[in-house]
Amino acid sequence: MTATLLTGARPLGGDPTDVLLADGVVAALGADARTHDAARDARVVDADGLVLLPGLVDLHTHLREPGREDAETVASGTRAAALGGFTAVHAMANTTPTQDTAGVVEQVWRLGRDAGYADVHPVGAVTVGLEGERLAELQAMARSAARVRVFSDDGKCVHDPVVMRRALEYVKAFDGVVAQHAQEPRLTADAQMHEGVVSAELGLTGWPAVAEEAIVARDVLLAEHVGSRLHVLHLSTAGSVEIVRWAKARGIDVTAEVTPHHLVLTDELVRGYDPRYKVNPPLRTAQDVEAVRAGLADGTIDTVGTDHAPHAREDKDCEWAAAAFGMTGLETALSVVQQVMVDTGRFTWADVARVMSAAPARIGRLDGQGRPIAVGEPANLTLVDPTARRVVVPEQQATASVNSPFAGTELPGRVVATFLRGRATVLDGALVEPGVPA
């Protein structure tokens, strides 16, 4: 593998410097980069003005394989990930068959390794078939080649309090974490959108904020009681932010995620009944959007997870009630975070690295991801042009699905290059195929 010299890059948005990548690691920084032995034959990437971040890590990706390869495959999803600046993704367990055995998680892990665009870490189901009744063989998944550490029934809530308690306790044996999709099922039967002023007018069954908050509140108390760590997925309401803030102040080991779409879109968009805006948890109000931004800014919310949820065209090209829940997000996440957090002055690029790389890597217990940009560290990196602007065209994205809520929208920032252990997966904004010398 050839070495790569990034010239004039700004690590975490700081002062420009040269960065040499060789043998899969950051071999040299600053003046040493050009004089290093490996720099002699290095490919030079002009990174003047570009921000250098640790490769992004997503704790919340739906890759759909096995089972719905018409919507996404591990290969297409990880190509999208690389283009979005990610070097690692966690593949959610709601596949067919479910990722609830060592066999299935190893299959997905191998598909990721074979594809080669980003590390794929399968999430293990908490319960067999996501049914919420019996614990899946969590230890077997943890000890498999896939080394599962994150467990979730995402798409469904582990709603039975006893099952949730047992899961929280059980994963302590292998330093796992339960990532909860907080949705009280009885309060959300047939729910179609956020319950409030807009749902009242549109005649769509409401998904009340309390259905999320009641589970978040219960789970932080359970986590405290049994001394386990809990991760709350796609937190979407002002009330949930308050509860997590309270729990952290109390010393409870809880982390929380927000999605890019909940940072910027509101339930007002549902007025046109366009199923692109149908997502679970639903788009909330402007007050909720401001609350999750504030929670992300003050550290109450630890991570931005994409909840990248590709769907086949026919599952969105229909009336609202018949449409599937979910939005794509891998190729727009960083731009949305730049727009709502960096360009507004609420975040530095170091903060972006924290919530999109370091924190998710730590929660997922990944070695070699989310690391500082320092000599000797694995060269999982992404280069971003924050001055670029681009219009989102779903048909031109690498994801196999087109259900982006940002179609036709102009967003700031563009991923110029992504490096996975020193090898470029993206250069000049285009994918580099793994077979090609890079």
Partner 1 sequence: MRHLLSAADLSPAQAVHVLDTAAQMAATQAREIKKLPTLRGRTVVNLFFEDSTRTRISFETAAKRLSADVINFSAKGSSVSKGESLKDTALTLQAMGADAVVIRHQASGAPHTLAHAGWTSGAVVNAGDGMHQHPTQALLDAYTLRRHLVGDRGTTDTTGRDLAGLHVAIVGDVLHSRVARSNVQLLRTLGARVTLVAPPTLLPVGVHTWPATVSYDLDDALATRPDAVMMLRVQRERMSSAGGGFFPSPLEYTRGYGLDARRLATLPDHAVVLHPGPMNRGLEISADAADSPRAVIVEQVANGVAVRMAVLYLLLAGDGTRTTRTTDETKVPA
Element (H, E) at 423: strand 423-427
Tally of CA atoms within 13 A in the half-sphere of 301 that contains its CB: 31
Q: Which of 154, 315, 331, 351 binds Zn ion (CB under 5 A)?
A: 154
140 binds partner 1 (CB under 8 A): no
SS3 state of residue 275? helix
Least distance CB 71 / partner 1 (angstroms) = 15
Q: Tell me, letter by letter, the H, E, C secondary structure of 159-224.
A: CCHHHHHHHHHHHHHHCCEEEECCCCCHHHCCCCEECCHHHHHHCCCEECHHHHHHHHHHHHHHHH
* Shortest reach from residue 192's CB to partner 1, in Å: 8
273 binds partner 1 (CB under 8 A): yes
CA distance 361 to 137: 23
Q: Choose the stretch contacting partner 1; rule: CB under 8 A; options: 23-31, 128-136, 318-326, 357-365.
A: 318-326
Q: Of 53-61, 122-130, 204-212, 222-230, which part binds partner 1 (CB under 8 A)?
A: 204-212
Q: Return the range that interacts with Zn ion (CB under 5 A); candidates 72-80, 180-188, 315-323, 330-338.
A: 180-188
Written as one string, the DSSP assignment of 375-416 is: TTSB--EEEEEEEEEEE--GGGSSSS----TTTT-EEEEEEE
203, 251, 435, 437: which one binds partner 1 (CB under 8 A): 203
Stretch that binds partner 1, among 97-105, 232-240, 246-254, 321-329 (CB under 8 A): 321-329
Neighbours of 435 (CB within 10 A): 7
- 394 contacts partner 1 (rule: CB under 8 A): no
What amino acid positions are annotated as catalytic residues? Answer: 307
Residues whose CB falls within 8 Å of the CB of residue 344, separated by 6 or more in sequence, listed in order: none
The number of CA neighbours under 13 Å toward the Cβ of 97 is 10
Residue 25 or 324 having the CB closest to partner 1: 324
Alpha-carbon gap, residue 314 to 324, rounded angstroms: 9
Using CB distances below 5 to 8 A depending on partner kind, what does residue 314 bind out of partner 1, Zn ion, none? partner 1
Of 176, 206, 360, 405, the one binding partner 1 by CB under 8 A: 206
Nearest to 380 by CA among 347, 335, 433, 425: 425
Give 150 or 342: the residue with its C-beta nearer to Zn ion: 150
Among 248, 320, 375, 390, the residue binding partner 1 under the rule CB under 8 A is 320
Q: Which long-range contacts (CB under 8 A, 24 or more apart) does 199-205 make?
A: 199/267, 199/270, 202/270, 202/271, 202/273, 204/270, 204/320, 204/321
- Could you say which of Zn ion, partner 1, none residue 286 binds, taking C-beta under 5 to 8 angstroms by partner kind? none
Nearest residue (CB) to partner 1, 36 versus 316: 316
Of the candidate spans 36-44, 113-121, 205-213, 410-418, the one that interacts with partner 1 by CB under 8 A turns out to be: 205-213
Q: In Å, how far from its chain's centre is CA 252?
A: 23
**Contact between 208 and partner 1 per CB under 8 A:** yes
CB 415 within 8 A of CB 382: yes
As measured in angstroms, the least distance from the Cβ of 142 to Zn ion is: 22
Residues touching partner 1: how many (CB under 8 A)?
Answer: 24
The residue count of the chain comes to: 438
- φ, ψ for residue 87, nearest 5 deg: -115, -5
Binder of partner 1 out of 160, 317, 343, 410 (CB under 8 A): 317
Distances (CA, A) of 292 to 197, 213, 316: 20, 13, 27
Location of structure tokens 């788009």: 283
Contact stretch for partner 1 (CB under 8 A) within 49-57, 167-175, 198-206, 380-388: 198-206
Q: Is 181 in the site for Zn ion (CB under 5 A)?
A: yes
Beta-strand runs (E) in 259-298: none
Interface with partner 1 includes 199 (CB under 8 A)? yes
Q: How many residues bind Zn ion (CB under 5 A)?
A: 2
DSSP symbol at 127: B
Q: Cβ 275 to partner 1, closest distance in Å?
A: 8
Comparison of 367 and 395: residue with beta carbon closer to partner 1: 395
Site mask for Zn ion (CB under 5 A), range 287-326, x = bound? ----------------------------------------
Instruction: Give the residue at shortest CB distance from Zn ion.
Output: 181
Does 269 participate in binding partner 1 (rule CB under 8 A)? no
Which 231-260 residues touch partner 1, going by CB under 8 A? none
Contacts of 419 (CB under 8 A, 6+ apart): 4, 21, 55, 87, 379, 380, 381, 382, 425
Binding site for partner 1 (CB under 8 A): 192, 195-206, 208, 272-273, 314, 317-323
Which positions touch Zn ion (CB under 5 A)?
154, 181
